[in-house]
Homo-oligomer: A and B are copies of this chain.
Amino acid sequence: MNANLTVKEMKTWVRVVGGSVCSPKGFTAGGLHCGIKRKRRDLGWIYCNVPANSTAVYTTNLFQAAPLKVTQESIGSNGKLQGIIVNSGNANSITGDEGLQNAYMMRKSFANQTGLEEEDVAVVSTGVIGEQLPIKKLLNGIDQVICIGDNNNAAEFEEAILTTDTFTKNECVQIKIKDKVITIGGAAKGSGMIHPNMATMLGFITTDVHIEQKALEKALKSVTTQTFNMITVDGDTSTNDMVIVMASGLAHNELLHEDDPDYHLFVEGLQEVSLSLAKQIARDGEGATKLIEVTVEGTLTEQDAQRISKTIVGSSLVKTAIFGEDANWGRIVSAIGYSGIALDPDLISVSIGSIKVVEKGLPYGFSEEEAKNYLSNEEIQISVQIGVGNEKATAWGCDLSYDYVRINASYRT
């Protein structure tokens, strides 16, 4: 399935302007300043009125931070979450047993404060690696959390999870399943890092769909492969990456199974929210001035297309060329050639925007002026035809600018 394309063609969802993680029925959220960061909000939470079928995907980095272990344990216990507590400014990563105990303490404290079971609470951290959490400040902050009520503080939550992102990231869509309106909302943070070590992608998605936990898990996995896992800022995979979905069921639709003919409608809505958040993260990559979208078609498998598109969008040489607004197609072709996928160089065609630059393995005459003009846009599309099959994939990234170096060369303290 390529839900991306399907969605564009069929538009089974409607975008909710101003929507957020608080839009689906049953959810509230908020954020406050507890003192990990100097001034800005650094503690956020999502609360659901009922235990919500939940699932998550986690970083593949072998150094998984402590909060990921605690969250996996919570979701693993009964497939449900009712609250998420998040801090920014400290990743609680590579912090040993003390770090793990601190993550458990965050969970316990938030559960006590809100009257939840501990195993219904997820814990999330993002920030500096290798320093212990200032646990007293955190616990004091958690003591101030007020979850019950109908006030929508999603904007506070969206702020509280940021590190050095330059804007908050959210999305919300609605779909109709068997005459019930289902809402899916999301928030995310990307990998800005004025204080280095803060590279973490976090995604939080709420929905009021009534869905089996197994079906929710399957939906998130399939959607992540085509959205969050298809973005790259600098090729460095954090120890704290995590995307969590909570489904309250309060839309009161008939329980959705994965073999329900309407299951795909929910997946398409989830895909749209995930895709939107992922693209916002790519666009806000450190120092980025442009969003780059690379679509690769004509491969034997979708995995091949994913590998090639991610190789192109991850190439430092392609990224600097786009920053310099240079239609340097040789770098794109070279990246295709070292992507590790078997292909026939004589069948490759490449376009930058609608400007064809390579046809069947050979340079295709184009107007440099026209290309330079196109590359002055803030969204750049690169299309590649491999010519050996019928599969396709799209990856997103950003250009590589002086500011990337400035941000990441700055001293931690």
> 0/1 per residue, A235-257, Cβ < 8 Å to B?
11111000000000000000000
Most interface-central of A239, A335, A405, A412 (chain B CB within 10 A): A405
A412–B328 alpha-carbon span in the complex (Å): 7
A235–B199 alpha-carbon span in the complex (Å): 20
**Interchain CB contact under 8 A, A236 and B96:** no
Contact A317-B405, Cβ < 8 Å, known A94-B330, A412-B326: no
**Interchain CB contact under 8 A, A324 and B408:** yes
Contacts of A402 in B (CB 8 A): 402, 405-406
Check if A61 is an interface residue, CB within 8 A of chain B: yes
A199–B400 alpha-carbon span in the complex (Å): 17
- For chain A, the bracket of interface size reads 35 or more
Contact A63-B236, Cβ < 8 Å, known A197-B330, A328-B412: no
Contacts of A238 in B (CB 8 A): 334
Q: What is the distance, in angstroms, from A130's C-beta to the closest C-beta of chain B?
A: 4
Contacts of A131 in B (CB 8 A): 363
A129–B401 alpha-carbon span in the complex (Å): 23
Check if A36 is an interface residue, CB within 8 A of chain B: no
A361–B325 alpha-carbon span in the complex (Å): 43
**Interchain CB contact under 8 A, B337 and A61:** yes
* Identical subunits present: 2
Check if A152 is an interface residue, CB within 8 A of chain B: no
Q: What is the distance, in angstroms, from A207's C-beta to the closest C-beta of chain B?
A: 30
Contacts of A128 in B (CB 8 A): 330
Q: Which of A299-343 contact B (CB under 8 A)?
A: 315-317, 320-321, 323-326, 328-331, 333-338, 342-343
**Interchain CB contact under 8 A, A413 and B368:** yes
A331–B196 alpha-carbon span in the complex (Å): 8
**Interchain CB contact under 8 A, B236 and A405:** no
**Interchain CB contact under 8 A, A316 and B316:** yes
A27–B212 alpha-carbon span in the complex (Å): 76
Nearest chain B residue, comparing its CB with the CB of A97: B362
Residue from B338, B345, B405 within 8 A of A404 (CB atoms): B405
A63–B326 alpha-carbon span in the complex (Å): 21
Contacts of A361 in B (CB 8 A): 94, 96
Nearest chain B residue, comparing its CB with the CB of A338: B237
Residue from B94, B199, B362, B411 within 8 A of A333 (CB atoms): B94
Nearest chain B residue, comparing its CB with the CB of A334: B239
**Interchain CB contact under 8 A, B401 and A343:** no
**Interchain CB contact under 8 A, B236 and A60:** no
Contacts of A331 in B (CB 8 A): 196-197, 236
Beyond A93-B330, A95-B362, 12 additional contacts (C-beta under 8 Å) are: A61-B338, A62-B336, A63-B336, A63-B337, A96-B361, A96-B362, A199-B334, A236-B335, A320-B405, A325-B411, A328-B412, A368-B413
Contacts of A60 in B (CB 8 A): 338
Contacts of A368 in B (CB 8 A): 413
Interchain residue pairs A-B with the least CB separation, the first 8? A324-B409, A129-B330, A320-B408, A63-B337, A237-B338, A61-B337, A197-B330, A234-B316
